[in-house]
Amino acid sequence: DEIEEGLSSFAPSGGRSQLETLNSGVKVLCDFYNANPASMRAAFKVLKASATGSSVMWLCLADMKELGEQEESLHRELAADIEALGSNLRVLLYGDKMKWLSDQIRKDAPKISVKEFGSQELMADELRKQLKPQDVVLLKGSRSMRMEKVWEHIKGQ
């Protein structure tokens, strides 16, 4: 009985693969608790599955931390996964390490729209101006990148 009661009241900690919906109908995958290459790729798959034919997929990504000596290559390697998502996407990046990903996307897939931002607030402002009701958004980055700030800025929309 105690176990059943505990499970019925369980709520996962915020920012771990939570699919939210804005008042406008935009779906937002809040997965900003942490990030590594494997969790990024998994989140891309969830985002793609949440999209419809008319959806623009917004990848709002921040640095992956604590990756060691391979951090540059691990950031750059995500470009191939992003390119595989298709053409109906926009990539918004925040953080010094995401400059590697930006550079790689521009080299490998120049038709994909990529923008870099100096803060979460500036990224959120761009989203607020551009989002349409059928769009889907991924918010993802290492915990220290505070991507929940983007969610706080857009969730009133």
- pTM for this structure? 0.87
Residue 157 above 60 pLDDT? no
| Model pLDDT for residues 92-117, shown as the tens digit of each residue | 999 999 999 999 999 999 999 999 99
| Model pLDDT for residues 16-43, shown as the tens digit of each residue | 567 888 888 889 999 887 899 999 999 9
DSSP tag of 121: H
Residue linked to tokens 């390119």: 83
CB atoms < 10 A from the CB of 80, how many? 12
SS3 of 21-82: the string is ECCCCCEEEEECCCCCHHHHHHHHHHHHHHCCCCCCEEEEEECCCCCHHHHHHHHHCHHHHH
Q: Which helix (H) or strand (E) holds 131?
A: none
Residue type, 143: R
